[in-house]
Amino acid sequence: MRIHTTTHAAIESRRGTDIWRAYDYACRQSLLRMRRRALRYRCVAAVAAGLAAVFVTHPFIAAGQGLPHPLLAIHLRTDQAGGSTTAPTGLSVLAGELANIIPTPAVKINIIDGAKPSQTVTVSATTVAEALTAANIAVGSTDKVVPAASSALLPGESITIKRVRYENEVERSAIPFRIVFKMNHDLPAGQIQHDQTGHPGELTKTFALTYVNDKLVSRKLVSRKVTRTPQDEETIGGIRVRMARALPSRGAPYRRLRSFEMVATGYSPYEGSSTGTCATGMRAGYGVVAVDPRVIPLGSRLYIEGYGYAVAGDTGGAIKGHRVDLGQTTYREGSDVGRRRVRVWILDRY
């Protein structure tokens, strides 16, 4: 019975050892397979990376070497904003070595230079900038190139150059002078005198112009300046100091809107109604005249030749059409006016 038990334990011990050896062998085989798989992956990745690096520097190499289609390089192209696509250091070294081995093939590209007709040229270049240099086409700092100059060159590429230039345009125009009428106490009332000759001024405008392919696309005003101030043409009319109405501002500019040739008579404050009050409520006297409201509106500022500054503030039964009754301070002054032809201007403040 004892011998049987010992034999059974020995059998169990040998069986456990065999299982452990089988397990260890399976683990070693699995680890070996993983290492082989990783090695294959690294080899494939290295080859793919090398081809990708070649396409970065020689995107059109498939045309001459039979490699995969160069459209794979489109994803690695530089964008038009000026960014760049870089490869890891190892790939750059590999790309440099391959570039020294594989020559740059010549490709045909289309170039549209500004307003010129499209031209087809054959160049050996890897970027758009190199292609333009090879084609002896200079690009200015303000010109725009599509695709961007740093982009990789593809076979059959169409390159468009927009010639952009900026200019300033100066425009000068005349500023018309005013024809003004001023009143002065130093001249006799009703006397008109030419005082100053008018001269036009000058206005200078500066515009910023933008041309694209010799066509004006933008015109923007950037500055506006009066380079010469206009000089008014002045005429002075004498006025009386003592008037029934308030005197006009000394030296204030007026403009003569229109004039009438009228028949003038005179009257004193106490003729007619003898109240000394006009139809508009004004106090009658020198500086207030009677007019026909259908010809000259009541309240208008007037300047009358031989009389001076006045306000249309009264009416009269005999004052019809182109007639004016000049208010005077006394009856004698009213009688001295008599009946005469005068020129009457309607004034307006500037």
Rounded to the nearest angstrom, the gap between the alpha carbon of residue 339 and the centroid of all alpha carbons in its chain is 65
Decide: pTM greater than 0.75.
no
Task: Give pLDDT tens digits for 98-152.
Answer: 555 556 678 899 999 998 899 999 998 888 999 999 999 999 999 999 999 988 8
In tens, the pLDDT along 232-267 reads 999 888 888 766 555 666 567 888 888 899 999 998
Torsion, Cα 308 309 312 316, to 10 degrees, reads -30
- Cβ–Cβ contacts within 10 Å for residue 42, how many? 10
Neighbour-count burial of 87, counting CB atoms closer than 10 A to its CB (0-12 exposed, 13-18 middle, 19+ buried) = middle
CA distance 97 to 313: 106
How many distinct helices (H) and strands (E) make up the chain?
5, 16
pLDDT-wise least confident of 1-5, 202-206, 230-234, 258-262: 1-5
Q: DSSP string spanning 136-180?
A: T----TT-EEES-TTSBP-TT-EEEEE-EEEEEEEEEEEEPPPEE
Spell out the domain ranges in the chain.
238-349
Q: Which residues pair with 152 in a beta bridge?
A: 127
Query: In the numeric block, which tokens belong to residue 329?
Result: 């301070």
328-340 confidence digits (pLDDT tens): 888 888 888 899 9
pLDDT for 72 = 41
CA distance 309 to 344: 10
Which numeric CATH code is attached to 238-349? 2.40.40.10
Mean pLDDT of the chain: 80
CA dihedral over 252, 256, 261, 262, signed as positive or negative: negative
Q: With a cut of 90, say whether residue 323 has pLDDT above it.
A: yes
